Every structure is written in C-alpha cells, then in structure tokens.
Structure 1
Amino acid sequence: MKILVSVSLSVMVLLQDAAAVTHSLQYIYTASSGMTDFPEFVNLGMLDGVQMDYYDSVIRKVIPKQDWMAKNEGPEYWERQTQASFGAEQSFKVNIGTAKERFNQTGGVHIAQMMYGCEWDDETNEVKGYYQGGYDGEDFIVFNMETETWIAPIPEAVITKHKWDNNKALIAHWKNYLTQECPEWLKKYVNYGRSSLMRKDVPSVSLLQKTPSSPVSCHATGFYPDRAMMFWRKDGEEIHEGVERGEILPNHDGSFQMNVDLDISSVSPEDWRRYDCVFQLSGVEDDIITKLDKAAIKTNWGKPEVKSGDGGFPTAAVIGGVLGFLLLAACVAGLIIWKKTQQQ
C-alpha cells in the first residue's frame, strides 16, 4: 500500500482538569468501494474534536468548516490542501484495490481508512503522535513510535509491514512529522481558533420523561467544550445502580448535548427529594444541580401533540443532534465502527 503525505493531526478529546488542556489535531481519510450513496473518498480535519475542513471525491476541493480557518489561511493554502487531498484520493483507490486482492475479495462493500496526528499538552509541552491504517473496520497497519517500526495486526498486512520497515526515509519522515511538524501546525491552528475553542458555554438542563413509568432523563444541551460529566446523586453521593449514561453528541451549532437516565421504578414518591442530577464542565467551577422534581419534568405523555416551544420533550433537538452525530460518524468511520487503539 502507498503512503500519503499531507498536513494532519490528533485523535482524542479527553476529559481534562482546568489546570491543563491537551490539544489535538487529526486528519481522517476514508475510501470506500461498493457504496453508491457515499463518496468514494472523504478526508476531513479535526482540531480539538471540532471539524475544521473537509474534502470528498465529489466536490474535489478542500473547504474550511470554521470561520477562523477561512479568515487565517489564504487561497494558496486551500489550493495546496486540495492538491494533497486529490493525491490522497488517487493513492487510496490503489490501496483499496490492493487490499481487496490481499483478502481475495471481488465484490461487496469495503472501506480503507487512515488516521494520524498528534496531541499536545499546553502545560507540560508533552507531544504524542500516532499513525493507524484500517481496513473494513479493523486495524491494518500501525506505526510504533518507540521502535520506529510498523506493526501488522493481521497476516494480510505483513507484506506492507516489511516494505515500510525497509523504507528508512519513510520512517524518518513520519517520526519527524509526528514529533516536530505536527505539533507546530497544531499550535498554529489552536491560535487561530483560540477564542472559539477556549470558550466555556454552560448548558440548559432539563428533566425529561416519555411516560410516568419511563426513566427520568437529565438532559443537558448547548455546552462547550465536550469535556463534561453528568451523573445522578442520592443524598449527595453519586450512584450507579439504575443509572444509564448516554454519549456526548454534537449539536448543529458546534455545541454539545448529553443525557443520563435514572430508573425511578423503585423510588418512592417521598424519596424523590433525595435525588439530584449534577452537570460538571471542565474549567467551570460551579456545578449545575437539578433536583428530581415531578413538577419540573417535561413530557409528551398524555398530550395529543406537542409543538416546538410548548415545553414538551425536545425531540427535535435530540434527533438533530443524533443525525448530526451519525453524519459525522459516516465521514469519520466510513459507516463502520473502527476500534481506535491508542498509540503503541
């Protein structure tokens, strides 16, 4: 398989404390075969978990997804990125064909992916880089930064491993890029979007319930960044039994939403006052605490129709967030859940 050379960066946005922030820049490439309703090639960049640019084989152009990227980089930058992405598209067409031969595949839907980048701790200045290639939802090739060798998790990747291990120039390129060039680009982009990326937006929190016997959902929406936690307490102590925590999902405006459900089937009415929902946002000192109160619960139960703004269950917001998440997941993961292992 051929390697791609283009500007890119890191992977995960983790919960950080207020004293330090780990910034990340990540580029993800996805090539598909046998899919009629999805571009054959998609390439996107993510800064601190926020999409900053996008390219696919239909538009054949890298476009900014954030105002701070559009304002700080001129036409020459976007042309260079477009040319690099177009080259990656051509390489991936070869790559996915080679992979199909290795796996003895002739038809069906198949997906080849690559993601690489770095993370930077703005307090310790520590940098971590990584490179991973995947095929049909599984790891295919991984770069080991410590040994400066390639790891082949499956037999079909051994040929690629040997070829790349013998290419010392390729290894030198990735080591230099992941430890030197990548962090410099990351710091530059963080500076562009600092006012947006470093903001702290607290959410609105509501109690939702579909029916009187359903779990009560504590729903927070409109917060930023996504380094947040939410949980139920009883008598001031966090509880886990009867609690189901949902994923953090993106909203259309770049903010986030999440929910945590509490099973109240065994909670007596007089004990409701002992429960509350706590939302914590990284970098914000005060928690948002919502008492379990029947009068405060929003529900559609028993109502023939609840229109937007009537105070019922905010299905439009939830569904919109889920659809946005699924659309992003389609671009990022090529419709397949790829287990993103940490840097070796």
Structure 2
Amino acid sequence: MRRLCVIIVTSVKDTPHFLLLFPPVKHSLLYFLTATSGVPDFPQFMGSALVDDFQVGYCDSNIKMAETKQDWRKFMKDNPEHLEFYINECYNNQHFFKATIDGLMKRFNQSGGVHILQRMSGCEWDDETGEIRGFNQYGYDGEDFISLDLQMLTWITPKPQALHRNQYYFIHLYPDWLKKYVQYARSFLQRTDLPSVSLLQKTPSSQVTCHATGFYPDRADLFWRKDGEELHEDVDKVEILPNHDGTFQMSVDLNISSITPEDWKKYDCVFQMSGVKDDLIIKLDKSVIRTNWGKFSDIFCRSVISLIFTVLSVGF
C-alpha cells in the first residue's frame, strides 16, 4: 500500500512535487488532491494532475481555475472535454473536500488546529504487458485513512454504487486517457536538455557557487567533490528551481575559507542527470570563476580618483 505524506510548500503558487519511480515500461496518471484546515495564508484546497511525474495542470481554491502547463495547452485546446473535466473536478472537489474534512473533524472530536485531508488516485499502465493497475487512497493528518483495492474489489463503504463508479474511472477511463496522454507527450516526456554549468563568486573570500541552468527534466543532482568523493560538509545546496522557459536551474555553494591554494585542484563540481551516462564536471579553478568584484573594484578606484581631482580643482 502506498503511503501518503503531508505536503508543505513555501507559497500559494508553489505546486506539490512528487517523485514516483516506476520501471521504464510503466506509465502513470496521478491525481493529488489536498484540503487543509487551520493553515493560515494557504489554500484550503489544491489539486494537481501528473503524467509520468510531469505536471499537466494545477488548481487551488485561491485561483479558482484549472491552470494547464504550457506543454499541455495544445492538447487541451484540441481535446476540450479533458479541460472541461478538470475544471469541473476542481470546482466540485473543493466543496466535497471541505465538507469531508469538516465531517472528519467532528467525527474525531477536533474543534481546531491544523488538519490535512489528501487523496491520491489514478492508474499505472505497463505498455509492454498491457497490465493496468488503478488506485484510490485517502489520507488524513498524514495517516492512511481508507483505500480502494480495485483488483480485489474491496472498499469499506456503505454505498456499493461508489465501488462501480471507481472501477469505471480507474480501470477503464483513466487508462484510456493515460495512453492518449503518453502518445501526445512523448516529445517532451522523453526530452533531455543538458545545462550550462558555471562557477560564480561575489568576492575573493566569499563562497564559490556552482550553478547549473537550462536542464530538463528536473531529475538531476549537483554536488561538490574532493578527490572524487562527494562533500557533505562546507557545502550548501539550493533546491531545484524552474526557469521561465520550462527548464530548470540549481546551485550548490562551497565554503573555500579553509581550502589552501594548492588544494584547489582537488575539488570539482559534478552535474548528474537521470538517464544521461556522462557527468558534467567543472574543476575548481580561479581562471574559470565568473565574478564582477574585480570590475567593481576598478570602478570604485576610478571614482575615488575622479572625486579627489574634483575636490582639488574646486579647492584651487
């Protein structure tokens, strides 16, 4: 049984990210819905649809609309019934989840505090064997709450109609959609863009930042090594961030205060991407570090000299 976790994001516009690893022949269509209660400055409802771990769209109770990711806009335009489905699901589930979380709080005698209700549903399809597996699972406050076993056709529910409806969605409708999505999205689901990797430094004594940008997808890692061994001390990694063009960027800082000049050659920065055989490696070398502190220093000196001559001229 898959376990659900509590989602914590840093702002309303952030989108929950889930890394689910499947064998290469398997594809997945996943829906993540989350309702919150007692969380200030946070949407009371969020929904996200993913195909093979790539987001198709997102909605929440603040924006009150299903937003399609750029790669999927043409598909939704050519298949308006799919976009209509997601808009309706976003609207209807907001009310359903709010009523459900209110009911659960009453059932568990919870008068206040922070509470989170989640649903993970969808299907997996093995395009070699043709095997289809659907799932629908609820979690409440970080714990499994109720789940549907579509293989055994068992679900603790007082209404048998709910079972047949779920069987239709997760065994028939969603797998058909998933196959259609995979066919449409092969061009960008299987796309790989390698980044440009640079070393940056603000001042001669400040940390050296290894920065990688322009890579896709975001299944990547960036780290510093010494003598071929990954460093875990004196480094500070920044999370992967999106670029405006749909690619990604990330960086990792190295504290050089205790590194002697003769030891610089022992350090390098390594970029690794899932599915790419060769790593991108850049050596810690002063000659390749990009910095503007030298330029600022020259400008400052020229400004001071100019100011001195101006003062002397005025004085005389």
Deviation at 1:104, TM superposition (A): 2.3
Residue 84 of structure 1 is matched in structure 2 by 89
Is 1:12 matched with 2:19? yes
Deviation by residue 1:153-188 (Cα, 9 ceiling, x = unmatched): xxxxxxxx8x43x65554565466445543332221
Distance 1:289 1:109, change over 3 A: same
Match of 1:206 among 184, 192, 198: 198
Is 1:268 matched with 2:225? no
**Kept in 1: contact 2:150–2:167 (CA 8 A):** no
Match of 1:30 among 28, 34, 48: 34
Bigger radius of gyration among the two: 2
C-alpha separation between the residues in 2 aligned to 1:121 and 1:278? 34
Distance 1:94 1:231, change over 3 A: same
C-alpha separation between the residues in 2 aligned to 1:39 and 1:252? 24
C-alpha separation between the residues in 1 aligned to 2:86 and 2:272? 38
C-alpha separation between the residues in 2 aligned to 1:295 and 1:15? 43
C-alpha separation between the residues in 1 aligned to 2:232 and 2:87? 51
For 1:127-146, what aligned pairs fall within 5 Å after superposition? 129-136=134-141, 138-143=142-147, 145=149
Distance 1:134 1:215, change over 3 A: farther
Moved more, 113-122 or 287-296: 113-122
**Kept in 1: contact 2:132–2:175 (CA 8 A):** yes
Residue 45 of structure 2 is matched in structure 1 by 41
Is 1:238 matched with 2:242? no
Deviation at 1:270, TM superposition (A): 1.1
Moved more, 43-52 or 220-229: 43-52
Identity among equivalent pairs (%): 51
Q: Which runs of 5+ in 2 are unaligned?
A: 1-16, 298-316
Distance 1:126 1:274, change over 3 A: farther
**How high is the TM-score relative to the length of structure 1?**
0.65
**Kept in 2: contact 1:116–1:129 (CA 8 A):** yes
Distance 1:208 1:48, change over 3 A: farther
**Kept in 1: contact 2:26–2:126 (CA 8 A):** yes
Deviation at 1:207, TM superposition (A): 1.8
Distance 1:303 1:28, change over 3 A: farther
**Kept in 2: contact 1:232–1:239 (CA 8 A):** yes
Deviation at 1:101, TM superposition (A): 0.8
C-alpha separation between the residues in 1 aligned to 2:125 and 2:18? 11
Distance 1:263 1:98, change over 3 A: same
C-alpha separation between the residues in 2 aligned to 1:230 and 1:257? 10
Q: Which runs of 5+ in 1 are unaligned?
A: 1-9, 151-160, 306-344
**Alignment-mate amino acid for residue 180 of structure 2:** K
C-alpha separation between the residues in 1 aligned to 2:290 and 2:164? 58
Is 1:62 matched with 2:66? yes
Between the two proteins, the alignment pairs up a number of residues equal to 279
Deviation by residue 1:304-338 (Cα, 9 ceiling, x = unmatched): 79xxxxxxxxxxxxxxxxxxxxxxxxxxxxxxxxx
**How high is the TM-score relative to the length of structure 2?**
0.70
